[in-house]
Amino acid sequence: MRFRPRQRLRTGAEYDEVFKRGARLDGPLFLLVALPNGRGLDRLGLAVSRRVGGAVERNRARRLLREGFRRLERAGSPGVDLVVIARPSLSRRGQAEVDRELRERFLRIRRRAVAAGEAAASPR
């Protein structure tokens, strides 16, 4: 299955919105930032800097994260924009470890982001 354009954050404005208003969750392999998007579809944005390594390591980190995102069980999700900021140790890990960490962090951050999004959307 391909990683479709509708599953991606595509513009700088979309990334900026997630960074500005999203819930954050730090981990040893990556930092997650999530924001409910109201689309009923989860979208992924990746930030993999040169601190992760050379081009080979950065591309491997991206492949690991995209595959982990593809494998996530997201049934019944209200739709979350998710930005993953890779840490340098990510490219040296296996797919199973990345999948496990992404699944655990995604479930926690999604609950937090949905709660924050509902609180922000409710009238005061």
Domains of the chain, first to last: 5-115 (3.30.230.10)
pLDDT in tens, 109-124: 777 766 766 665 555 4
pTM of the predicted protein model: 0.84
Share of the chain above pLDDT 90, in %: 56
The predicted pLDDT at position 107 comes to 83
CB 72 within 8 A of CB 109: no
CA distances from 71 to 3, 100, 118, 122 (A): 11, 10, 27, 33
CA distances from 95 to 63, 70, 83, 118 (A): 9, 12, 19, 33
